A and B are shown apart, each in its own frame.
Chain A
């Protein structure tokens, strides 16, 4: 080993220490954006986006006059077939008497009830119809990515124990955890915004290439942007949940395993065995948070108007879902931070 460039071990910066006013927040941002796993995830996300856009371009198309004529003919055939079937039903002597015809054999199908787009080989892209669904899809993708980023970030800190080394520099544990959470929330917000921007970009391309034209209904943008805003919020919740869960058990693999078992097994079991608990499930609340107007959960617990045959309908509003997700996130993150504050770090 050698002495420093000036021949001394004491730095050229001010004594007694070289440390000055540092920024843990800036360092954490630097640390997060230097992670290779994050780069790989984002690269995969971009590849996924390109793939989804390419598939959508292949799926949609501007119909020709011939396509439309074929579609119209198919629609007429469907209506005719439906009418034949309905007539056979009405002529059936065994049908119950005293019940209205429409209730037994269904109402008459008319051409104007059918959408021509559904009968075209390549539908034109209809942003007004798919805008919200696309935002929901991109929200789900960004939430999964954010969960992975949150879990692996703090998981890597625990597995390398660099979190402990950081305490040699910033001994206040709550400060360390708080800054990390702040940086993660910021990153997740950016990710959520980028994901929704990705959907708007895809939609823009599809509208330019595969749209049949037509104006968007009034209030469409306000509606869509509100949905996208809630999608960003879901992304933040997912990132914090991933972080909190992994911080609680200090192992990324175990945290991801728990998440998988929860979503794949536990939620399914609850839907079957304890239907009344459904309004508290994470996935239902995630959908309820992002979907316009929330979501409706059908609970088969025998308390509905028709007993077990007719389910109860419970509406989970956006606000209610946000509060539930926020509370669950706060409890998991808070428990992890509390234990980190109390634990002996050996």
Chain B
């Protein structure tokens, strides 16, 4: 059973005096149960709207279907909301209440024990500041309290929208570690929306990339990266010019030597890098280095979404 399944979901905002704005355009999203699923897209691509639609805050256009933990959204939300935790953009709490009181009020709403409140405060390292007012918290502390609130229900599905916002480097590392642990605990599925490519690459098992409200790629992170790699191989030899001639004659697509050392060249469309070694060795040219080049997520992301670097 997928944790999240959206099929052909669209959303158009209509505001008086302004042209209609189609934010989601037949979006498909599939998040399998377990692990950490990244939700990646440039600003304005519809990530936060998607999460709001999932949580019933925004009504999608007619057509399309949405299921959360096998329940239709929004009608079935009340049946599963007890096991869905969410942090959407900035945490929303009463500024005049303490961190602990804010969490206790939420816990009381859902029948979560006060002990769990203390557990969650401890998880996000806020126990010492729990009796301070929320408005006195730093941005990072507010974010951590938001994560604690999302964890209160010990959710089966945890939806985090830009959870690293406002955190210092240590905080970011801790949040990523926490998300990784949650994804591996066998209990929680994490849907992580982020614009931080490194975060997605480091933390997520699977990813969906969206652009202009449409899914442009989805799958295991490694598969998405492999799909964007063109089989490029960097070859280091004593004489790049001679090696290029040999490889071109053998039918390889070779870029002209570009490195100033005259010893490095790039070969494209290589499915079996060993063939390069064989072809060069046959002409008594011996390889010093042979490195298949894989695309990183940033490259894949920019290519898929058409963004300029």
Q: A residues bordering B, Cβ < 8 Å? A: 1-5, 8-13, 15-24, 26-27, 30-31, 34-37, 156, 160-162, 164-172, 342, 344-346
- The answer to whether A3 touches B123 (Cβ under 8 A) is yes
Q: Contact partner of B112 among A10, A16, A20, A26, CB < 8 A?
A: A20
Closest residue of chain A to B101 (Cβ to Cβ) is A34
- Least Cβ–Cβ distance between B145 and chain A, in angstroms: 11
Whether B96 is near chain A, meaning CB under 8 Å from some CB there, is yes
Interchain CB contact under 8 A, A10 and B57: no
Contact, CB under 8 Å: A9 / B110: no
Among A8, A170, A344, the one with the most B-chain Cβ atoms within 10 Å of its Cβ is A344
Instruction: Please give, as numbers and ranges, the residues of chain A lying within 8 Å of B188 by CB-CB distance.
Output: 9-10
B227 within 8 A of A: no
B93 and A160 form a contact (CB under 8 A): yes
CA of A346 to CA of B57, assembled, Å: 7
Determine if B7 is an interface residue (Cβ-Cβ < 8 Å).
no
Separation in Å of the B212 CB from the closest CB of chain A?
A: 18
* New A-B contacts (15) at CB < 8 Å, excluding given A5-B119, A18-B112, A30-B105: A1-B144, A3-B123, A9-B185, A10-B154, A13-B112, A16-B83, A22-B112, A23-B109, A27-B105, A30-B104, A31-B94, A34-B105, A156-B94, A167-B55, A344-B57
- Bound together, the chains give a CA A164 to CA B161 distance in angstroms of 15
Let me know if A2 and B52 touch, CB within 8 A.
Answer: no
Q: Which of A21, A24, A161, A342 contacts B92 (CB 8 A)?
A: A161
The residue of chain B having its C-beta at the shortest distance from the C-beta of A162 within the complex is B92
CB-CB under 8 A from B185, the residues of chain A are 8-10
Contact across chains for A12 and B59 when beta carbons are under 8 A apart: no
Contacts of B56 in A (CB 8 A): 167, 171
Contact of A20 among B58, B105, B111, B181 (CB under 8 A): B111
Residues on the B chain within 8 Å of A30, using CB = 104-105, 108
Measured CB to CB, the closest approach of chain B to A260, in angstroms, equals 25
Whether A19 contacts B123 by the Cβ 8 Å rule is no
Q: Can you list 30 A-B pairs with a CB-CB distance of less than 8 A?
A: A1-B174, A1-B177, A1-B178, A2-B122, A4-B123, A5-B122, A9-B123, A10-B188, A11-B119, A11-B154, A13-B115, A13-B154, A16-B154, A17-B153, A19-B153, A27-B109, A34-B101, A160-B92, A161-B92, A167-B55, A167-B56, A168-B55, A168-B86, A171-B55, A171-B74, A342-B59, A344-B52, A344-B58, A344-B59, A346-B13
Contact residues in A for B59 (Cβ distance below 8 Å): 342, 344
Contacts of A37 in B (CB 8 A): 96
Nearest chain B residue, comparing its CB with the CB of A173: B56
Flag if A15 contacts B154 (CB, 8 Å): yes
- Which of A12, A15, A169, A172 lies at the interface centre, i.e. has the most chain B CB atoms within 10 A of its CB? A169
- Given A1-B177, A13-B154, A171-B81, also A36-B96 (CB < 8 A): yes
Give bound CA distance, A35 to B133, whole Å.
Answer: 12
Q: Are B154 and A18 touching (Cβ within 8 A)?
A: yes
Residues of A within 8 A of B151 (CB): 9
B45 to chain A, nearest CB (A): 15
Interface residues on B, range: 35 or more
CB of B270 closer than 8 Å to a CB of A: no
Would A345 and B52 be within 8 Å (CB), given that A13-B112, A13-B113, A22-B108 are in contact? yes
Interchain CB contact (< 8 A) of B95 among A16, A22, A160, A168: A160
CB neighbours (8 Å) of B105 from chain A are 27, 30-31, 34
| B124 sits at the interface (CB 8 A) | yes
Known A17-B155, A17-B156, A344-B57: A170·B109 in contact at CB below 8 Å? yes
Closest Cβ of chain A: how far from B57's Cβ, in Å? Answer: 4
Nearest CB on B from A134, distance (A): 35
Chain A min CB distance to B161 (Å):
12
Alpha-carbon gap, A135 to B13, bound state (A): 51
Is A3 within 8 A of B181, CB to CB?
yes
A12–B96 alpha-carbon span in the complex (Å): 30
Asked whether, in the complex, the Cβ of B57 is within 8 Å of the Cβ of A345, the reply is yes
A34 contacts across to B, CB distance below 8 A: 97, 101, 105
Name A179's closest neighbour in chain B (CB-CB). B109
Whether the Cβ atoms of B112 and A19 lie closer than 8 Å is: yes
Residues of B within 8 A of A19 (CB): 82-83, 110-112, 152-153
A18 touching B152, Cβ below 8 Å: yes
Q: Does B106 sit within 8 A of A, measured CB to CB?
A: yes
B139 interface residue, CB < 8 Å from A?
Answer: no
Residue of B nearest to A1 (CB): B174
- Cα distance A35–B88 when bound, in Å? 25
B123 x A2 contact (CB < 8 A): yes
B187 within 8 A of A: yes
Interface centre among B56, B57, B83, B174 (most CB of A within 10 A): B57
In the complex, are the beta carbons of B81 and A169 less than 8 A apart? yes
Question: What 6 A-B pairs have minimum CB-CB distances, sorted nearest first?
Answer: A20-B111, A22-B111, A19-B82, A165-B92, A17-B83, A1-B174
Contact with A11, one of B109, B116, B156, B181 (Cβ below 8 angstroms):
B116
Instruction: Quote the shortest CB–CB distance from B124 to chain A (angstroms).
Output: 5
- CA A160 – CA B13 in complex, angstroms? 23
State how many angstroms separate the Cβ of A27 from the closest Cβ of chain B.
Answer: 4
Task: Give a binary string over B149-166; 1 marks a CB under 8 Å from any A CB, 0 the rest.
Answer: 101111110000000000
Query: Whole-angstrom distance from the CB of B266 to the nearest CB of chain A?
Result: 43
State in angstroms the CA–CA spacing of A24 and B110 once bound together: 7
Q: Is B247 an interface residue (CB 8 A)?
A: no
